[in-house]
Amino acid sequence: MRDIPEVKKLISELLEDESIGQCIVSTIDGSPIYGLKRGGKEIKEELHMIPAAITSALAISNNFLETSLNDNVKEYVVFQKDCIIVATKASDVVLITTINPPRSSFEKRPTIDIIIERLREITAKLDAIVKTLDIEDTMIERIQRAIPEATSILLLSTAGVPLSSLSSLDIDSAQLAAVSSAISLPTRMLGQEAHSIAVTGKNHLMLLYCLDSERILMVSLTPKLSIESYLTTIARIVERKE
């Protein structure tokens, strides 16, 4: 949780609307900034998981719209039995808002379209604030937030030498060198350099993503989504560059 008074003030004002249950602000890469529930209780326990899941869904949806319909995502709206979740996207920020249903048939509430317009205005203000701040995380930290099921995220040289890592596994550097060399060799022999490689096991998935001619990103995880979904998430983060 980041202590940014301007962000806290905007979210507190938004929660004065009784139809709003909670709000979470994150970067478009899923790095949490601030979360608050109605009643003034700050969100801590779910502040990493929720933005990671929703920003990944936003990225995948946005890629689909851009490639197939020449459009881009503004909102991601989930209709649940007891609430509506709206994720409003700006260039650097996502505002995730939970909207409660009317408590009775006599209670009047703005339509979802009107609420979305207000959320767009608030998100634009949050985006302007965040643009003035230095809250950038490392690429490995951003991937960890976007893919919480990853057990290891390693940055290697093309020779397999570890450059930086975030891992729950005890990995030998000599093994890393052997793996990266063995995996990339067949594609080189076929006359082309690999852009990304997936190695699947019974319960695990290992992805190698070529950042440039000198660096490889290796992500090991227990998959919950498709290979394409993970590669899309990694590509989106990598394209932001450091």
Q: What is the pLDDT of residue 236?
A: 84
pLDDT confidence bin for 135, thresholds 50/70/90: low
| Angle in degrees, 0-180, between the axes of helices 139-146 and 227-238, rounded to the nearest 10 | 150
Q: Is the pLDDT of residue 36 over 60?
A: yes
pLDDT tier at 10, thresholds 50, 70, 90:
very high
- Give the global pTM: 0.61
Question: Domain-by-domain residue ranges, the chain?
Answer: 5-131, 139-238
* Mean pLDDT of the chain, nearest integer: 81
pLDDT digits (tens, 9 = 90+) for 154-209: 887 776 677 777 776 666 666 766 776 666 665 554 555 567 888 888 889 988 88
According to the 3-state scheme, what is the secondary structure of the chain? CCCCHHHHHHHHHHCCCCCEEEEEEEECCCCEEEEEECCCCECCCCCCHHHHHHHHHHHHHHHHHHHHHCCCCCEEEEECCCCEEEEEECCCEEEEEEECCCCCCCCCCCCHHHHHHHHHHHHHHHHHHHHCCCCCCCHHHHHHHHCCCEEEEEEEECCCCEEEEEECCCCCHHHHHHHHHHHHHHHHHCCCCCCEEEEECCCCEEEEEECCCCEEEEEEECCCCCHHHHHHHHHHHHCCCC
69-128 pLDDT per residue, tens: 888 888 999 998 888 999 999 988 999 999 988 776 677 777 888 999 999 999 999 999
Which residues, other chains included, contact 138 with Cβ-Cβ below 8 Å and sequence gap of 6+?
Answer: 164, 242
Position 242 scores a pLDDT of: 43
Q: Domain 5-131 - what CATH class?
A: alpha beta
Which CATH superfamily hosts domain 139-238?
Answer: Dynein light chain 2a, cytoplasmic (3.30.450.30)
Q: Give the pLDDT confidence score for residue 89 in this predicted structure.
A: 93
pLDDT, one tens digit per residue, over 142-157 is 888 788 888 888 887 7
User: Is the confidence at residue 237, as pLDDT, over 90?
Assistant: no
pLDDT of residue 84: 92
Whether 45 shows a pLDDT value over 50: the answer reads yes
Picking from 181, 141, 143, 139, the residue whose alpha carbon sits closest to that of residue 161 is 181
